[in-house]
Chains A and B, each alone.
Chain A
Amino acid sequence: MGRWDNKRQPYDSVVAAVPVSVPYQRFTPDPAHWWLARALGDLLRGAGLHPADIDGFTVSSFTLFPDTAVGLTQHLGLTPRWLDHIPMGGASGVVALRRAARAVQAGDASVVACVAGDANHVDSFRNMLSSFSRFAQDASYPYGAGGPNASFALLTDYYMRKYGATRADFGRIAVAQRANARRYAPALMQEALSLQQYLDARPISDPIHLFDCVMPCAGAEAFLVMRADIAAELGLKTVKILSTIERHNAFPDDPVQDRGGWAMDKDELWDMAGINPDQVDFLQTYDDYPVISMMQFEDLGFCAKGEGPAFVRGHDLEISGSFPHNTSGGQLSVGQAGAAGGFLGLVEAIRQLTGTASDTQVKGAKYGVVSGFGMINYDRGVCSAAAVLAKGSQ
């Protein structure tokens, strides 16, 4: 794609482990620091480590202001030699994974705690929207202040016209995820959802209706990236990283976004992984709206561009179905805990591939794909990322 040839190195001797999800809450007065601390504590307890054992730390959060990862080191008693702060919203999880993996592989750190979390106070969401980005302030917020609902309504409207998708096609994604969420106890939305209820929901920003939208909430997610030998010494169940991709501001001249950066990089993703899409046992997409999940089916290569609607009509997306997708219920049913939403699919994937997913476990899961998408800077999501993961350590 670029000007120079690019030979990717494999992620040798690096693993991900210890998936942590701090159960979400709709509103709490606790700040982001509380959620991140809770996740880090669970991570250390889960691994049998002490704060001093963590020599790498990466944080993703929208509501940590005025602090960054720097302030958290002192706040939480960490003394890392490798520190990162990843402000990429829904792409944060995969990006944290790939950055941490390279740091560990190169010896810059041995054990990296990757943490994401956000507070949700009563007025947090409005405050975040009104100051999200300069382009949003200048050129999208003044047009109805519909937030991401309005932005994704435009993408959805465009996609439906261009590729003939119907609301029911998107409904299949939301309904299957709700069925999955009913097997994931921490999901905030547990009531059964039928396709008819989906179709009958009230309009929010046409053609987006209620069950196309995620519910903002508070929560945190975390995992470790570490040397395989240390994981083995600690007796941890681990996941191998076969390949990753990351891309920002892809296809800037598309008048409306109907593809993401994955479409630029998917060949590299599969080449590096050494498997093909048919071998994948589950997919965790970033599902802030169903249209984006459908784009990921296409742009990651599970079907061709424009075949997303036919793909969802032809597959059962539930845990026990032909194409298990967002097995914990995704953000649509679990809730969107800010930047933790960018970790949700990855943490669930680690559970799946370490055989610890309990009621949502996909039987015999060996390969999983996680993709991330983030940051409506103006009229489209700018960041995209994906990873192919495998069960085991080597």
Chain B
Amino acid sequence: MTKPILKPGRKNPQIRTVHPTLPPAYRSRKALGFTVAAAEGRFCLQRCDDCGKLTYPAREACPACLSMNLRWQDVDPAGQLIAETTIRTSTNSYFRERTPWRTGTVMLDAGVSVLAHIHGDVTPQGRVRMIARTDKSGKGVMMALPEKEVENMADDKQLRELTCDPKHRRVLITDGRSDVGQAMARAMVNAGAEIVFVGLAEEWRGFPGQAAMTEIANVEIVPLDVTNTTSVQECAGEIGGKVDILINTAQHTRPGGIMGRRDVVTSRDEMEVNYFGLMRLMQGFGPGMKARGADGVNSACAWVNLLSVYALSNKPDFGSTSASQAAALSLAQCFRAEMAGSGVKVVNAYHGPLEDEWHQPLPPPKVSPNRLAREVTGALQQGLEDIAIGEVAVDVRGRWQEDAGVLEKELTQIEGM
């Protein structure tokens, strides 16, 4: 039975902060297909389009018929543990610091045996269900969990290396003025966060929900204006060393594209928040989080970007905002590269139109702030890196993955033609 992890005490400044090290990070190009699926939490194996054989590890050709048409496809994650070991010595620094480490061979019901990390509550020879996640190196791995939920399951030492569970962690919500920011703060408190810092620009201006927010014991309002470099630097100086999860809720969304606007004033405001604001946050909080990626139970573990799904492909009636979101996505990719090595996950949560005043003219379905907060919380608890929230985001991202070129043609064609 997994023991619940305890709330860590105050950090002893005389004790060394554990330096982030990584599990083996190199993968072949084909194997990166598994990582892409793992980032979304999908358990996939290659299946041969021609003969149907399921195969693993990643291959260039089918070992049954030598077809070149292998595709990563979702596979039944049920299986049985048929051999196991507890590794007590490793040649890799990351694992050396974390032994004993349980791994094993799982025979999938789908007919393939695989090596995997094994949850502590899986019984020898027991039934398991597999998950695919990215590990601290950002690469996909498999882990076998008990078939059914068990007590304190998420607190398993090896599983927690794959997840970004808010439990006992300290969270910064960068903008608490919006409904999204407030929903996110409540969700983090409910998920067991030790403290939730909520950023607020222009504190002298009150906001709806302020009283309810300040009443929550674990919430602390902090001055933070993402459009102001000094403000971001001061906030990072104040709390940057104790932010384990950062969720950027600051967004500036306005309808309109190019020629409907006479100048770049509104577009500049969008960029100021959605792009430069993000960059200021990354410059202010990134280095501190990067250094604390292995800092115990409340290590830095996740940076969450809330991105319009139209960052992937422009939606002309919100065309200028889409452009700023595309800029933010590109920056997030750069940030992922710069954070690699820290073990901190950069989570991109794509959402469709929100149920807020700026999307009022759009038809449903739209994403409520509570749903957005709930799904981001779930993604952190599960350790996902790429998620789509809401029907529109799932649909648009699915079409983008299928054929980005076709999606662009669809989104940019004139209505009714």
Interface positions of A (Cβ within 8 A of B): 125-126, 129-130, 134-135, 137-147, 149-150, 153-155, 157-158, 161, 202-208, 252, 255-256, 378-379
Contacts and interface: CB of A to CB of B under 8 A. Distances in A.
B116 A143 contact: yes
Nearest to A131: B26
Given A134-B28, A142-B23, A256-B113, A205 B89 contact: yes
Contact of A255 (B30, B63, B105): B105
B220 interface: no
A141 B24 contact: yes
B139 A142 contact: yes
Contacts of A161: 83, 125
A339 B63 CA distance: 28
A145 B90 contact: yes
Contacts of B56: 139
Centre residue among A139, A202, A256, A379 by max chain B CB count within 10 A? A139
Contacts of A153: 85, 87
Interface in B84-112: 84-92, 94-95, 99, 101, 103-105, 107
A157 B103 contact: no
B183 interface: no
A292 to B, nearest CB: 15
A202 B89 CA distance: 11
A142 B141 contact: yes
B165 interface: no
Contacts of A130: 24, 26, 91-92
A203 to B, nearest CB: 5
Given A150-B103, A205-B89, 17 more contacts: A134-B57, A137-B27, A138-B58, A139-B115, A141-B24, A143-B115, A144-B99, A145-B87, A145-B92, A146-B101, A147-B90, A154-B84, A161-B83, A161-B125, A204-B88, A208-B85, A379-B105
28 contacts: A126-B92, A134-B28, A135-B57, A139-B57, A139-B58, A142-B135, A143-B117, A144-B117, A145-B87, A145-B92, A145-B94, A146-B90, A146-B103, A147-B91, A149-B89, A150-B87, A150-B103, A153-B87, A154-B83, A154-B115, A161-B83, A203-B88, A204-B89, A205-B89, A255-B82, A255-B107, A255-B113, A379-B113
Nearest to A135: B57
Contacts of B89: 146, 149, 204-205
Interface of B: 23-24, 26-28, 30-31, 56-58, 63, 82-92, 94-95, 99, 101, 103-105, 107, 113-117, 125, 135, 137, 139, 141
A206 B27 contact: no
Contacts of B90: 144-147
A137 B57 CA distance: 10
A150 B105 CA distance: 11
A320 to B, nearest CB: 35
A144 B57 contact: no
Given A138-B28, A206-B88, A379-B113, A144 B83 contact: no
B145 to A, nearest CB: 15
A262 B135 CA distance: 39
Contacts of B116: 143
A149 B24 CA distance: 17
Contacts of A203: 86, 88
B160 to A, nearest CB: 16
Given A138-B27, A139-B56, A378-B57, A144 B87 contact: yes
